[in-house]
């Protein structure tokens, strides 16, 4: 462990750099702090998914006036809140120790989850209280920008991809365990128990939010007690300054590469938002699954994709070291294209039409009233008759659907981790809070617009148009990446300090 003193031109004072040896206390403290950031990212994912499967029945229970369109706004509120908050917390982390925005954001998240658990109390407008609570949960999750900027600043170039992959794996694990925890808490039932002293109904809808609040309290304690400010340069030398930057760093960042990275990240998140939104209605329309079957089977598929993603993150570490970050990102986009291209309908078989919507046809008219009455309790399955494309669009087979899930489960995590790994390397040693805030905001915007886009295009025009447009978008991303390929390099490589 040795010290090296550098004097920057025009810099008043000195900047102390030290090599971070694995046996040094600085090294151990740095990685303890990074692991706290992993946990924070994990909890951010859990906070989104732990209530997502119960939002609709909870909303119906507390406010009968709520319809499916309002549910869309409740789900989108999380991403909108995160989109607004990310640049704010990112700017805060550039000016002050990161502990401050982290504690503040986690406290907002914790309070919003408690608010969510009490939205049944008001006499009127309960659905708007739920909307506000989910918006504030998302606002608190804006700390993802701070987490990414911290990990980027606390790792060397060699450590960066591995650390980002680990963080993405924690995020994926949160997406898996969130619904699993909700399922485990469902045994409490709709009635649950009432704690009269605090006017709390502890049931299957409120318990997950309160558990998320308890996780938030643990997270705050870890941030306060364990997290320390660490910053290393591209070679891994520890810099004893908080959020330092050199005079020429701001001007030397390649803004074209920055803008391109944001666009690519937006496209990647948009595509996945489309995928997770369309899964349930697509499977119900094409395979004539009931609501219960669609929730069960797609839940199993999503869990499998989550575990697949964790394996992909481990492979990405090795692949990026051998081939580089840009080829892995390009390969991920190509795999996503194949995943959506497989979903394009073809053949001479057509989906089953819901019999409940065609009671006026000749077959139903010949049925006896007793027969219709006996079937009235059955849930109509198949493609809704009012979706006119169902009558002339070939069915998507289950093998196509599963193959697409597998391919997207490989391509998406590879693109996700490579997008912001490259982004952090492009920014270099400057404080990355604001830039990471914009990256997170672009992803949140994609998660907001994606469901709106696909719900309209799929309902009106059908899967052929919806997936063709997505394929076109992926091709556009591949062309964009190829056109600026040489610019998407690390800051140090761009300035000739290292060879990439």
Whose structure tokens read 């591995």? 162
- Who's near 469: CB < 8 A, 6+ residues apart? 457
Residue 221 has pLDDT above 90, yes or no: yes
The answer for residues whose C-beta is within 8 angstroms of residue 48's C-beta and 6 or more apart is 78, 137, 138, 141, 174, 175, 178
The pLDDT, as a whole number, for residue 371 is 39
- Whether pLDDT at 6 is above 70: no
**For the chain, what's the residue count?**
500
pLDDT (mean) for 43-47? 82
Class of residue 374 by CB neighbours under 10 A (exposed 0-12, middle 13-18, buried 19+): exposed
- Residues sharing a CB contact under 8 Å with residue 100, sequence separation 6 or more, in sequence order: 92
Highest mean pLDDT, choosing among 191-200, 216-225, 313-322, 454-463: 216-225
> Do residues 488 and 261 make contact, with C-beta atoms less than 8 angstroms apart?
yes
Within 10 A of 418 (CB to CB), how many other CB atoms are there?
31
pLDDT score of 338: 94
Query: Which pLDDT score is estimated for 14?
Result: 35
How do 3-6 and 15-19 pair as beta strands? antiparallel
Q: Is the pLDDT of residue 250 over 80?
A: no
Residue 173, phi then psi, degrees to nearest 5: -65, -35
Cα separations (Å) of 15 from 9, 235, 242, 244, 495?
A: 12, 16, 11, 9, 21
- DSSP string computed for 51-82: TTTTHHHHHHHH-TT--HHHHHHHHHHHHHHH
pLDDT over 70 (residue 485): yes
Tens digits of residue pLDDT in 272-312: 878 877 777 788 888 888 766 776 787 778 778 878 888 88
- pLDDT band at residue 23, thresholds of 50, 70 and 90? low
- Which pLDDT belongs to residue 375? 43
According to the model, what pLDDT value does residue 247 have?
43
- What pLDDT, on the 0 to 100 scale, is given for residue 475? 95
399 φψ region: left (φ > 0), alpha (ψ -120 to 50), beta (else) = alpha
**pLDDT at res. 148:** 83
CA distance 86 to 91: 9
Q: Six-digit token pair at 494?
A: 């761009």
Pick the range with the lowest mean pLDDT from 102-111, 112-121, 179-188. 179-188
Q: Which residue has the tokens 């908080």?
A: 242
59-102: pLDDT as tens digits:
878 887 876 667 767 877 888 888 888 888 888 888 888 889 99
User: For 288-360, where are the alpha helices, taking DSSP H only?
Assistant: 291-323, 325-341
Q: What domains can you pick out in the chain, each with its CATH number? A: 16-244 (1.20.1250.20), 246-359+380-500 (1.20.1250.20)
Q: How confident is the model at residue 150 (pLDDT cuts 50, 70, 90)?
A: confident
Cα pseudo-dihedral 185, 189, 190, 191, rounded to 10: -120
Q: Which of 439, 421, 262 is nearest to 327 (CA)?
A: 421
219/107 Cα distance (integer angstroms): 10
CA angle 291, 294, 296 (to 5 degrees): 105
Q: How far is CA 195 from CA 58, 133, 302, 400, in A?
A: 19, 21, 35, 50
The span from the CA of 31 to the CA of 228, in Å, is 10
Q: For 96, phi and psi rounded to 5 degrees?
A: -130, 165
Q: Quick check: 356 pLDDT over 60?
A: no
DSSP string for residues in 241-304: STT---TTHHHHS-HHHHHHHHHHHHHHHHHHHHHHHHHHHHHHHHH---HHHHHHHHHHHHHH
- Give yes or no for residue 323 having a pLDDT over 80: yes
Is residue 411 within a helix (H) or strand (E), and if so which, with residue range?
helix 398-427
Mean pLDDT of 304-333: 86
Mean pLDDT check: name the lowest of 213-222, 284-293, 376-385: 376-385
Q: How confident is the model at residue 4 (pLDDT cuts 50, 70, 90)?
A: very low
Arithmetic mean of pLDDT over the chain: 79
Q: What phi and psi, each to the nearest 5 degrees, are found at residue 353?
A: -95, 140
- Give the pLDDT of residue 341: 94
Q: What separation in angstroms does the CA of 36 have from each of 46, 53, 228, 310, 398? A: 15, 27, 10, 19, 41
Model confidence pLDDT, tens digit, residues 401-413:
999 999 998 998 8
- Token duo for residue 26: 């600085």
Beta bridge partners of 383: 353
Q: Pick from 432, 92, 417, 95: which is nearest to 253 by CA?
A: 432
Asked which of 89-93, 155-159, 221-225, 294-298 is least confident by mean pLDDT, the reply is 294-298
Taking residues 345-353, what's their average pLDDT?
84
Helix, strand, coil percentages in the chain from 3-state DSSP, rounded to 5:
70, 5, 25
> Residue 128: pLDDT above 50?
yes
Q: What is the pLDDT of residues 109-124, one digit of tens each?
A: 999 999 999 998 888 8
């Amino acid at each position: 462990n040795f010290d090296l003193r550098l004097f920057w031109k025009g810099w008043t004072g000195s900047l102390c750099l030290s090599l971070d040896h694995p046996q040094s206390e600085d090294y151990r403290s740095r990685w303890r702090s990074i692991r706290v950031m992993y946990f924070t990212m994990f909890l951010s994912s859990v906070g989104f998914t732990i209530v997502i499967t119960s939002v609709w029945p909870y909303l119906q229970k507390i406010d009968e006036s709520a319809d499916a369109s309002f549910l869309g706004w409740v789900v989108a509120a999380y991403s909108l809140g995160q989109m607004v908050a990310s640049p704010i917390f990112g700017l805060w982390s550039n000016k002050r120790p990161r502990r401050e925005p982290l504690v503040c954001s986690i406290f907002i998240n914790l309070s919003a989850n408690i608010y969510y658990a009490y939205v049944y109390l008001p006499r009127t407008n309960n659905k708007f209280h739920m909307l506000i609570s989910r918006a504030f949960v998302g606002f608190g999750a804006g700390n993802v920008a701070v987490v990414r900027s911290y990990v980027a600043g606390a790792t060397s170039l060699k450590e960066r991809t591995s650390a980002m992959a680990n963080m993405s794996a924690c995020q994926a694990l949160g997406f898996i365990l969130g619904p699993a925890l909700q399922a485990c808490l469902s045994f409490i039932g709709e009635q649950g128990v009432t704690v009269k002293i605090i006017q709390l109904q502890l049931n299957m809808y409120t318990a997950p939010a309160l558990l998320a609040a308890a996780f938030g309290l643990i997270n705050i304690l870890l941030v306060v007690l364990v997290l320390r400010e660490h910053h290393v340069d591209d070679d891994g030398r520890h810099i004893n300054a908080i959020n330092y930057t050199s005079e020429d760093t701001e001007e030397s960042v390649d803004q074209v590469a920055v803008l391109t990275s944001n666009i690519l990240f937006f496209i990647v998140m948009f595509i996945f938002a489309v995928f997770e939104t369309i899964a349930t209605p697509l499977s119900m329309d094409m395979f004539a699954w009931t609501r219960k079957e669609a929730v069960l089977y797609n839940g199993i598929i999503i869990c499998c994709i989550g575990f697949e993603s964790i394996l992909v993150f481990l492979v990405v570490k090795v692949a990026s070291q051998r081939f580089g970050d840009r080829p892995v990102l390009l390969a991920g986009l190509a795999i996503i294209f194949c995943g959506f291209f497989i979903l394009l309908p073809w053949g001479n078989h057509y989906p089953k039409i819901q019999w409940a919507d065609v009671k006026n046809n000749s077959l139903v008219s010949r049925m006896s009233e007793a027969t219709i009455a006996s079937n009235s309790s059955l849930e109509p399955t198949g493609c809704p008759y009012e979706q006119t494309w169902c009558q002339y669009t070939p069915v998507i087979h289950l093998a196509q659907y599963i193959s697409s899930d597998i391919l997207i489960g490989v391509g998406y995590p590879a693109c996700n981790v490579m997008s912001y790994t490259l982004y952090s390397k492009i920014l270099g040693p400057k404080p990355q809070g604001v830039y990471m805030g914009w990256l997170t905001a672009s992803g949140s915007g994609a998660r907001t617009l994606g469901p709106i886009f696909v719900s309209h295009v799929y309902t009106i025009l059908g899967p052929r148009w919806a997936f063709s447009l997505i394929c076109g978008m992926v091709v556009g991303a591949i062309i964009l990446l190829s056109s600026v390929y040489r610019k998407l390099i690390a800051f140090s490589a761009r300035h000739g300090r290292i060879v990439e």
